[in-house]
């Protein structure tokens, strides 16, 4: 099996004339997916999605980790989750504050009984496991918060889906929220609606979390692939069902057969993939 990886960086919200930001995101995604693909050559799918999402969290162009959105009370709360297609185990953190890489805290939760923690409990667990204080705020984020802007260059989430050479699948997703939301609002990213994998397929979502949860999107797509749909058809049917409430979403996915697909209901989701060569959104 040829290893494959696909990543996303949320939605591109600027006007088409803002080429500087678009080019910066393209370059960042190419660099990160290339590093992720190289890592995947010698690591499992699970290890690789964690590594790659950590790189996305560390890039200030995206809304996860460094540069996360600020909630209406002036604080940053982040969410991230991880799912192993082999064991079908899920772990995640919801509304965690003051850590550098939420996805790495989610990894630690894989090995304990209580696999999804929120708020202060998630932070306590992180501190007990060696995750030190880190402020993910950037000057631009603070400026946006103070002006109460409604759009941003970092709209959405980040995610990675990988298929390793042994045919194993895994997915990881991380978000800094939508910005200016009610404190402690829960997004889709640390739920099976936004991040799901088994031994048939793996899906990471971005977009409006409430729409993704209402559509049970990631779990629904993976279930349809498990039941015999092609990845493309499973995604297509699931997005048709989002139209009932004008759901705003984008997904990336890989199936155990090696199918790789991305789709969005409201362009343009930013993405990149590696399958012998790099492809990137244009």
The set of catalytic residues is 157
Distance CA 48, CA 41 (A): 9
Strand, helix or coil for residue 214: helix
Beta-ladder partners of 157: 175
d(CA 86, CA 150): 40
End-to-end CA distance of the chain, in Å?
28
C-alpha to C-alpha distances, 278 to 5, 25, 256, nearest whole angstrom:
10, 14, 20
Instruction: Spell out the alpha helix ranges (H) of 151-230.
Output: 209-214, 217-226
Across the beta sheet with 278-280, the strand order is 116-118, 89-96, 78-84, 169-175, 157-163, 4-11, 269-274, 278-280
Q: What is the DSSP letter of 164?
A: -
Whether the CB-CB separation of 164 and 172 falls below 8 Å is answered with no
Handedness of CA 105, 214, 256, 90 (dihedral sign): positive
Residue 270 is classified by DSSP as: E
- Rounded Cα distance between 186 and 210, Å, is 9
């Amino acid at each position: 099996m040829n290893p494959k990886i696909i990543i996303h960086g949320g939605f591109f919200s600027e006007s088409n004339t803002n080429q500087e930001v678009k080019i910066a995101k393209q370059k960042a995604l190419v660099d990160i997916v290339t590093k992720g693909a190289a890592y995947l050559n010698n690591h499992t799918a699970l290890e690789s999605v964690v590594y790659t999402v950590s790189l996305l969290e560390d890039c200030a162009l995206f809304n996860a980790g460094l540069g996360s959105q600020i909630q209406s009370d002036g604080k940053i709360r982040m969410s991230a989750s991880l799912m192993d297609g082999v064991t079908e185990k899920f772990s995640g953190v919801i509304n965690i504050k003051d850590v550098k890489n939420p996805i790495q805290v989610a990894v630690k939760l894989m090995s304990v009984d209580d696999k999804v923690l929120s708020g202060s409990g998630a932070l306590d667990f992180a501190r007990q496991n060696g995750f030190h204080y880190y402020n993910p705020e950037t000057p631009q984020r603070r400026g946006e918060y103070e002006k109460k802007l409604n759009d941003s260059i970092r709209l959405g989430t980040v995610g990675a889906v990988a298929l390793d050479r042994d045919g194993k699948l895994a997915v990881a997703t991380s978000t800094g929220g939508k910005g200016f939301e009610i404190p402690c609002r829960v997004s889709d990213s640390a739920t099976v609606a936004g991040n799901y994998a088994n031994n048939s397929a793996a899906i990471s979502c971005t977009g409006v979390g409430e729409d993704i949860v209402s559509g049970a999107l990631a779990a629904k797509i993976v279930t349809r692939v498990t039941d015999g749909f092609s990845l493309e058809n499973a995604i297509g049917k699931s997005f048709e069902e989002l139209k009932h409430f004008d759901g705003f979403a984008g997904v990336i996915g890989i199936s155990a057969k090696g199918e790789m697909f991305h789709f969005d209901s409201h362009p343009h989701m930013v993405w990149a993939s590696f399958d012998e060569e790099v492809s990137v959104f244009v």
